Amino acid sequence: MAELHPQCEPLAPLLGTWQGGGTGHYPTIDDFAYTEELVFGHVGKPFVSMTQRTRNSVTGEPLHSEAGYVRALPGGELELTLAQPSGVTEIHLGTVRATDDGLVIELRSKAVGMTPTAKEVTSVRRELTIEDGTLISELWMAAVGHGDLLHHLRGELAKQD
């Protein structure tokens, strides 16, 4: 097990496996509920890997997944690279700051890549908060003709041993 890179120290509370559930909505789709697993790991370099999978709460069918890397720069600055099977890649800039019992990570997309058959996503905002041992993951997006960042997802996850 590698030692955590000093620039990743502010991200330390994320490391491990988180499970929970959430709800999603967007003007173009029916509301839905999902279960989520979110895994953060590191190899001693100045980044944290991230993989996410969600399933339909009712049927158990796989819904979304994504995989990427949170790059930790000095001073709590962050960069995120992310790939999705929906044909979308995201590059975010943001920050992490420590709170009394957790952290707050705020990220805004700087660039969104799309394959020719992907649905249009123009902008994404992500927020990860850890408080009271709970990880709250929220996402806003501007997509499929909606130019404003609209709230899309909110999940609450607990750390697994």
- For a second copy, the binding residues (CB under 8 A) are 2, 43-45, 47, 49, 51, 62, 65, 67-69, 71, 73, 79-85, 87-91, 93, 110-111, 113-118
Minimum distance of a second copy from residue 78's CB (angstroms): 10
d(CA 108, CA 77): 12
Minimum distance of a second copy from residue 134's CB (angstroms): 26
Minimum CB distance to a second copy smaller for 65 or for 134: 65
Dump the DSSP string for the chain. Answer: -PPPPGGGGGGGGG-EEEEEEEEEEETTEEEEEEEEEEEEE--SSSEEEEEEEEEETTT--EEEEEEEEEEE-GGGEEEEEEE-TTSEEEEEEEEEEEETTEEEEEEEEEEEEE-TTSPPEEEEEEEEEEETTEEEEEEEEEETT--S-EEEEEEEEEEE-
Minimum distance of a second copy from residue 15's CB (angstroms): 15
d(CA 128, CA 150): 17
Minimum CB distance to a second copy smaller for 42 or for 152: 42
Minimum distance of a second copy from residue 41's CB (angstroms): 10
Query: How many residues would you count in the chain?
Result: 161
Minimum CB distance to a second copy smaller for 43 or for 58: 43
Minimum CB distance to a second copy smaller for 76 or for 102: 76
Minimum distance of a second copy from residue 133's CB (angstroms): 27
Minimum CB distance to a second copy smaller for 63 or for 149: 63
